[in-house]
Amino acid sequence: MTMFSGTFFYKTEIDKPLDEVWEFFQNNENLAAITGFPKISILGDKEVFEGADIHLQMNFIVVKLHWKGEITKVVPDAYFMDEGIKLPFPFQAWRHVHAFKEVSPSSTKMIDRVEFSSLLPSPIIKGMLKGMFSDRKKQLRGIFGEVK
């Protein structure tokens, strides 16, 4: 079977200080809260730390899929990275860097970089990821207010 790979970037600017945004993303349950579809349940570690077990149950209404990964790197107030260990179809590999940068004392830029390999062509995966991250941005507006 043919393997496809790609890298996806998504930028979000949140009008809150870096320490407040960083703190929010150090709790995996907050990730579940900002993911509208699929609905996510956290079955692994709740906090973000190197070696943390990421075990998610994703509810697609007709089927529930499990996602297992690990937080492999954390640099406080800068970035953390999760890597897939046991991934659902169509993913074969996953590395997600969540980077945070202070734009001003009251604004933080978040850059998501996802490197993946999948059984579906890269443009399809990038389209799915764009939809998911766009939805997260909408959810973040409800939590933080001004989000671009």
Higher pLDDT, 63 or 114: 114
Q: What is the pTM of this model?
A: 0.92
Tokens found for residue 6: 């790609």
Q: What is the mean pLDDT of the chain?
A: 93
C-alpha–C-alpha distance, residues 89 and 77, integer Å: 32
Give the ranges where 57-116 is alpha helix by DSSP (H): none
Q: For the residues 94-115, what does the mean pLDDT come to?
A: 97
Domains, in order of start, for the chain: 4-144 (3.30.530.20)
- The CA-atom distances, in angstroms, between 82 and each of 114, 131, 142 are 10, 20, 25
C-alpha–C-alpha distance, residues 6 and 3, integer Å: 10
pLDDT value, residue 128: 92
C-alpha–C-alpha distance, residues 123 and 130, integer Å: 10
pLDDT value, residue 1: 63
